[in-house]
Structure 1
Amino acid sequence: AGSEGEMELPFTEDVQLTEMMRLRVQSLQQRGQRRQEGERLLLPHEAVYRLDFAEQELTFLHWNVTLGGPGRLSVTGISQLWTPDLTNLMTRQLLEPTGQFWRTAGEALDAPIKCLEADIQEFGERIAELAKVRKVMYFLFAFKEGAEKDSIRCSLMFKKNTEPGP
């Protein structure tokens, strides 16, 4: 457990949203239609995850990522706030930088996961910024190079920004 005022926020799969986006891809394929200009379709190895902010005044501390085997996880933030009509995801709503985490085959499972540290630091800080103005944020998780969705856990550690008492 972290010290006082620290908070762990887990990424959880938004199964309904992922399913809606898969259906969108299927219906385009079945009808032989093209995607809208600038639309970003969900790929088979991707899923939509969300972070729910119970607290909105947060300082980013670090990522907690577990990969239960070799593979690569990439996490892309989405600036879009989904409305009940589930508008299509547009590429311009994908945030930079992305979080990249990977483990190569033959590596010991207790070896630290590799990542692009400057990127994940900047990304974490952006998430903390966005938390100030929204209660929920969405992400595209891509599971590549043999990464198994079920063996991956991903969360963020934040410090709550508490106002000093009287």
Structure 2
Amino acid sequence: MEKATAASNAMVLPFKEDTALTEMMRLRVSSLQRSGQKRQDGERLLLPHEAVYRLDFHNQELNFSRWYFSLSGHGRVTITGISQHWTPDLTNLMTRQLLEPIGTFWRNLNDPEDSPLKCLEADMQEFGERIAELAKVRKVMYFLFAFREGAEAANLSCSVEFTPEN
């Protein structure tokens, strides 16, 4: 699951932080707090340790190959896919729009820095296949990245390798 070289016909798509969308979701939280209002029933608010990332699909006929993930130091990163086509000016993120399974990578505090990251491989495989399936009907897909136990976005590199279907 660490960084590696992709096969010649493979496409490695990096997750990119969508800072504008993350900020818009943070403004929603602060607006509710300032006005004393409650979130809508079923609404999923962005937590302080979360950020929105995106994958852009230039080719939509893909097969999942593998994950590339590196994390300096220790911590836990959880990646949750979002099923909606994002229109944050019109709709808020609802809990029912979060996909299963989620992807989780981690390195424990006592693990050496050069130890491989841990993950739930079956979930990661299914998650990657689900992303490839959704790419068939999307050009962009959004994800919530949660950073815990010391993990930070600055110490993270995450991408997914796909091969073209043909």
**Scaled by the length of structure 2, what TM-score is found?**
0.95
| Residue 110 of structure 2 corresponds to residue 106 of structure 1 | yes
Tell me the distance in 1 between the aligned counterparts of 2:113 and 2:54. 26
Q: 1:85, CA displacement in angstroms?
A: 2.0
Range with greater deviation from structure 2 (98-107 or 13-22): 98-107
Tell me the distance in 2 between the aligned counterparts of 1:2 and 1:141. 24
For residue 24 of structure 2, the aligned residue among 20, 23, 39 is 20
Query: For residues 106-139 of structure 1, what are the alpha-carbon distances to aligned partners after superposition, in whole Å with 9 as ceiling and x for unaligned?
Result: 3222211000111010000000000000000000
SS of the residue aligned with 1:30? helix
Alignment of 1:14-93 (within 5 A): 14-83=18-87, 85-93=89-97
Structure 1 unaligned segments of length 5 or more: list them: none
The 3 A distance-change label for structure 1 pair 84 and 23 is: closer
Provide the identity percentage.
68
CA RMSD after TM alignment: 1.0
Query: For residues 5-35 of structure 1, what are the alpha-carbon distances to aligned partners after superposition, in whole Å with 9 as ceiling and x for unaligned?
Result: 1010000000000000000000000000000
For residue 3 of structure 1, the aligned residue among 1, 7, 11 is 7
Tell me the distance in 1 between the aligned counterparts of 2:43 and 2:88. 18
Tell me the distance in 2 between the aligned counterparts of 1:141 and 1:86. 22
Give aligned pairs, total: 162
Aligned to 2:157: 153
Structure 2 unaligned segments of length 5 or more: list them: none
